[in-house]
């Protein structure tokens, strides 16, 4: 019981840390993909130090075989896809839209189960999915430049697909290895996957100002190592479906910070659309249980 409360607290705090991410991505002096690389690469410093200083290295199993390395590293491949697409969407649509749509992972997981595993969902899921789609239209129509948001919203939904796969593989890896192992291996694989994409598509790769380094350091140390690490820790005791729902705190935090620091006030229509999307996701997840 104590462990569950501790895990829930870690999950909520991790969600708050992750909610700061889109603000930092938007103000970064680098492009979205280069920012994603430094976010994951710089996170390796505290992750490696923390892993070396923890008792996990001595008391928990380490990957030995190729299959073990794959289990621990595969979440990072999908995390790379999630970071690239989500960071791009943050520059194409509002912070609120991007963060909310990228967190539709619970719906994506159940849709994937339906399509690929032939497990039809309950009626509640279909109703929840329809409700979420209506909410997306309302959310987008509430923006003063709604027409230009659709491409960014579509990219954010692509990020949700990667995020859903990341959650599934993360839960599997977390059952076999410690938080430190999973975070370190997956972050290395995410960095390796993002690097060539950033080198090809980004004109500027290295920050030139102190403020630029401060932003990517905050993303790497506070958001990734801190936020993702707390989420990975909590998933040893909490089911992935519950975790993905609780992390809907991210768009709430992001919307508040965007209003305060980026001048993106949340309109009444957007608030209503966001509420409809969240209600649809919750209903869909219950219908999938």
pLDDT tens, 77-113?
999 999 999 999 999 988 888 888 887 776 776 676 6
User: Which range in 14-23, 133-142, 231-240 is most confidently predicted, on average pLDDT?
Assistant: 14-23
pLDDT for residue 260 is more than 70: yes
In this prediction, residue 139 carries a pLDDT of: 66
How far is CA 180 from each of CA 79, 239, 277, rounded to the nearest angstrom? 16, 19, 34
Strand, helix or coil for residue 122: coil
pLDDT tens, 137-162?
776 666 554 445 778 888 998 998 89
Which of 43-52, 186-195, 204-213 bottoms out in mean pLDDT, i.e. has the lowest?
A: 43-52
Mean of per-residue pLDDT scores for the chain: 81
In this prediction, residue 146 carries a pLDDT of: 47
In this prediction, residue 36 carries a pLDDT of: 97
In this prediction, residue 229 carries a pLDDT of: 79
Determine if the pTM surpasses 0.85.
no
In this prediction, residue 58 carries a pLDDT of: 46
- CA dihedral (171, 19, 96, 31) positive or negative: negative
In this prediction, residue 118 carries a pLDDT of: 66
What confidence category does residue 59 fall into, taking pLDDT thresholds of 50, 70 and 90?
very low
Between CA 171 and CA 232 the distance in angstroms is 8
Q: Over pLDDT 70: what percentage of the chain?
A: 78
**Which one, of 12, 132, 35, 141, lies nearest residue 88 by Cα?**
35
In this prediction, residue 78 carries a pLDDT of: 94
**Which one, of 86, 102, 132, 91, lies nearest residue 274 by Cα?**
132
In this prediction, residue 71 carries a pLDDT of: 80
pLDDT for residue 165 is more than 80: yes
């Amino acid at each position: 019981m104590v462990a569950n409360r501790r895990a829930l607290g870690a999950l909520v705090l991790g969600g708050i840390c992750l909610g700061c991410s889109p603000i930092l991505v938007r103000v970064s002096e680098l492009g979205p993909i280069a920012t994603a690389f430094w976010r994951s690469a710089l996170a390796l410093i505290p992750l490696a130090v923390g892993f070396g200083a923890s008792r996990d290295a001595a008391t928990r199993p380490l990957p030995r075989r190729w299959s073990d390395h794959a289990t621990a590293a595969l979440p990072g491949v999908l995390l790379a896809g999630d970071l690239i697409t989500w960071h791009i969407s943050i520059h194409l649509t509002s912070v609120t839209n991007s963060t909310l749509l990228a967190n539709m992972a619970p719906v994506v997981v159940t849709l994937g189960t339906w399509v690929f595993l032939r497990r039809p969902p309950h009626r509640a899921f279909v109703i929840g999915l329809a409700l979420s789609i209506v909410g997306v239209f309302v959310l987008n129509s509430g923006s003063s430049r709604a027409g230009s948001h659709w491409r960014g919203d579509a990219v954010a939904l692509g990020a949700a697909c990667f995020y859903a796969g990341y959650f599934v593989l993360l839960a599997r890896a977390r059952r076999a290895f410690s938080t430190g192992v999973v975070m370190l291996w997956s972050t290395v694989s995410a960095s390796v996957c993002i690097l060539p994409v950033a080198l090809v598509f980004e004109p500027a790769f290295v920050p030139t100002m102190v403020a630029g380094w401060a932003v990517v350091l905050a993303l790497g140390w506070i958001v990734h190592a801190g936020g993702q690490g707390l989420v990975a820790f909590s998933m040893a005791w909490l089911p992935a479906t519950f975790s993905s729902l609780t992390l809907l705190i991210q768009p709430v935090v992001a919307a508040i910070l965007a209003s305060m620091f980026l001048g993106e006030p949340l309109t009444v229509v957007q608030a209503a659309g966001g509420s409809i999307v969240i209600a649809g996701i919750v209903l869909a997840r219950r219908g999938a249980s």
